[in-house]
Amino acid sequence: MVKFLKPNKAVIVLQGRFAGRKAVIVKNFDDGTRDRPYGHCLVAGISKYPKKVIRKDSAKKTAKKSRVKAFVKVVNYNHIMPTRYTLDVDLKDAITGDALESRDKKVTACKEIKARFEERFKTGKNRWFFSKLRF
Amino acid sequence: MVSTKKTKKTHESINNRLALVMKSGKYTLGYKTVLRTLRSSKAKLIIIANNCPPLRKSEIEYYAMLAKVGVHHFNGNNVDLGTACGKYYRVCCLSIIDPGDSDIIKSMPGSSETPLHGWWCIYRSNPLLV
């Protein structure tokens, strides 16, 4: 009886090219829109996870291994699995309403999200979110 | 002897309550609609048959844990649950949206001790996760 599909909820994408990747809900559309008459949400996720960094890596290597590739996508609720985790990263200003209209806007949005994800990864918080889901 | 008698009595009472919900309340039958009601936070109680596939059962329990909704494991398989709902088809899981005149919600919470109950206690007691 509690709404749990809210912004900042960590979810796992189940279908499509990014199946198995973790993502965070940015915006919900519970009742759908005219183009998409079903419950869906805008998610920002990790397309390429950062690699495992060990102590004997040089600074250059650490920087290279900590890179994250992000994606932005609109997904049907049926195609995501919500988890009990949340990710408190402010992505609302990075993804404006028209981010998915043209390829250039999508690329700039992804670059912005990538920067935010990388800075969060480097603090060492939300370790679950940045680890690859093994299946 | 005493325990079997007791479970039979409570089992009948669940059936009675379920019949009353079917008559006077709102419900949905089936896995897809159960998940839909859980997502939209309309569900008040979920009932799962005992021969539900374990992955599906875990998934519904997890959703219910996130939504803080009780889950009742019906003492019977999907055929029995369909019959208990008064339907001529099998029902593996159902979601009660509005119990109507029935007191199924009030009398059931004790029986929602699922294996995830431990999870749920941790989830609820941790202010960071809510």
Distance CA B39, CA A57 (A): 44
| Main-chain phi, psi angles of A55, to 5 degrees | -65, -35
Q: Which residues pair with A44 in a beta bridge?
A: A24, A72
| Share above pLDDT 90 across residues of chain A, in percent, rounded to a whole number | 84
Residue A82 tokens read as 């919500």
Say what the ipTM of the complex is: 0.91
- Which of A4, A38, A76, A77 has the highest number of chain B CBs within 10 A, making it the mutation to test binding with B? A4
What are the chain A neighbours of B59 within 8 Å (beta carbons)? 81
- pLDDT value for B111: 44
Per-residue confidence at B119, pLDDT binned at 50, 70, 90? low
- pLDDT value for B1: 55
Query: Is residue B116 assigned to a domain?
Result: no
Query: Is residue B113 assigned to a domain?
Result: no
Query: Is residue B24 assigned to a domain?
Result: yes
Distance CA B15, CA B85 (A): 8
Return the H-helix or E-strand segment holding B105.
Answer: helix B104-107
* Domain count of the fold of chain B: 1
Q: Would the CB atoms of A30 and B40 count as touching at under 8 Å?
A: yes
What are the chain A neighbours of B41 within 8 Å (beta carbons)? 1-4
Query: Is residue B122 assigned to a domain?
Result: no
**CA-based Rg of chain B, rounded to a whole angstrom?**
14
Query: Is residue B67 assigned to a domain?
Result: yes
What are the chain B neighbours of A86 within 8 Å (beta carbons)? 129
Distance CA B90, CA B102 (A): 23
Question: Among candidates B102, B66, B100, which has minimal Cα distance to A4?
Answer: B66
Query: Is residue B117 assigned to a domain?
Result: no
Evaluate whether B118 touches B87 at the Cβ level (below 8 Å). Answer: no
Query: Is residue B56 assigned to a domain?
Result: yes
Per-residue confidence at B49, pLDDT binned at 50, 70, 90? very high
Distance CA B102, CA B19 (A): 9
Domain range spanning residue B31? 12-100
**Structural domains of chain A, with CATH:** 9-130 (2.30.30.770)
What do you get for the CA distance between the two ends of chain A, in Å? 31
Return the H-helix or E-strand segment holding B14.
Answer: helix B2-24
pLDDT in tens, A77-103: 999 999 999 999 888 887 777 888 889
Is the pTM of the predicted complex or chain greater than 0.90? no
Query: Is residue B123 assigned to a domain?
Result: no
- pLDDT value for A61: 93
pLDDT in tens, A49-79: 999 999 899 999 999 999 999 999 999 999 9
The CATH number given to whatever domain includes residue B25 is 3.30.1330.30
Q: Would the CB atoms of A39 and B43 count as touching at under 8 Å?
A: no
Residue A38 near chain B (CB below 8 Å):
no
The whole-number average pLDDT for the span B62-71 is 96
Chain B: nearest CA to A100, how far in angstroms?
Answer: 25
